[in-house]
Copies of this chain bind each other. A is one copy, B any other.
Amino acid sequence: MPATKARKNGGDTDEKIRARNIREILKAATEIFSRKGFDGARIAEIAEASGLPKANVYYYFSSKEEIYRAVIEHLIEGWDDAFAHISVDREPQDAIRSYVAAKLSYTRRNVIESRLFANEIIRGAQFLSRKDRQHMRTITDEKVKVIEDWIAAGKLRPVDPRHLFIMLWSATQFYADFEPLACDALHTTKLKGVDYAHAAETISETVLRGLLPAGQI
């Protein structure tokens, strides 16, 4: 029996063990990096949270930085999902409402990842690969064209699409990333579904009234 097929842990193959351990490590690392930052996170803590001894973590990843990079890589994957709503086939009113709702819902369901990403950017995006940044730029450029088409078709008032996107990103990320401030402002101790619903409404309606030609809303 070849070493790579050796059975252990009740029938799991080495491949399954490897995949599961790596998954557990990344999951634990995401949570801990998000709460404490790169320097604040301890490998021992990540190991404990993933149910492995510290040395096993080093068996799969050769350094703390390698774990961090792997975690960041993972974050980008969810980035453009909400952006899919911004599409020429749709009416701007409908598209922008869906985008705002999807983005708010995504950050709400993935607070930990969202905060980690925010942290990485604030620190200068040092570990975001060239490829990842290029990818984000490409998607943004695509969506800028959609806005420009809508403006050309008279469906939206003239506006700088890039600054518009920045407005939408910042507003939709604020609630998850800066929850303590949002809570203070809203006089609550934890953001609930209603708060996110009000957020979606305020953002969508204000921006849409601001951008649609008179009388369209």
Contact = CB atoms under 8 A, between A and B. Distances in A.
A87 to B, nearest CB: 19
A102 to B, nearest CB: 17
Interface in A102-127: 115, 118-119, 121-125
Interface of A: 35-40, 115, 118-119, 121-125, 128, 133, 136-137, 140, 157, 159-160, 162-167, 169-171, 173-175, 177-178, 180-182, 184-187, 198-199, 201-203, 205-211, 214
Contacts of A128: 180
B40 A159 contact: no
A128 B179 CA distance: 14
Give the interface SS of chain A, mostly helix, strand, loop or mixed. helix
A137 B181 CA distance: 9
B166 A182 contact: yes
